[in-house]
Amino acid sequence: MEIVMSIVIGIIFGTAIYLMFSNNIIRVLFGTLMLSHSVHLLLLTMAGLQTGAPPVISLEADTYTDPLPQAMILTAIVINFAITAFMFVLAYRIYQDHGTLDLQQLRGAKDE
């Protein structure tokens, strides 16, 4: 299962890099969003896709699932949501002030 997840993570990561090379700010934002989700999946996969008892350890439990990767990913998702909301607000303000979301026009480059 880890091999399939690694391939999926690679596809999401490649798509995120492709979107981040775009000239539109919204595509760049979606690229960073997809990049962070691929990192979340990478953390979960590298911790090992285990099945077992719940993460509550008792004396009778022979196996248990490690709760640390899940807690780290949950924290990263919350932080990522806040940063993404902030970036979308910045993109909205850029559009209000400049009337465009094209990075080439915001740099002042001439269209050819």
Q: Check pLDDT > 80 for residue 111.
A: no
Domain extent, residue 15, equals 2-50+65-105
For residue 112, being part of any structural domain is answered with: no
Confidence of residue 42 (pLDDT cuts 50, 70, 90): very high
For residue 84, being part of any structural domain is answered with: yes
Separation of first and last alpha carbons in the chain: 48
For residue 58, being part of any structural domain is answered with: no
For residue 60, being part of any structural domain is answered with: no
For residue 37, being part of any structural domain is answered with: yes
pLDDT tens profile 55-93: 666 667 677 777 888 899 999 999 999 999 999 999 999
Q: Among 4-13, 41-50, 70-79, 90-99, which is the least confidently predicted range?
A: 41-50
CA angle 34, 78, 11 (to 5 degrees): 15
Confidence of residue 97 (pLDDT cuts 50, 70, 90): very high
pLDDT for 31: 96
Query: How many structural domains are present in the chain?
Result: 1
Torsion angle of C-alpha atoms 81, 87, 34, 24, degrees rounded to 10: 160
Q: Domain of 101: which CATH number?
A: 1.10.287.3510
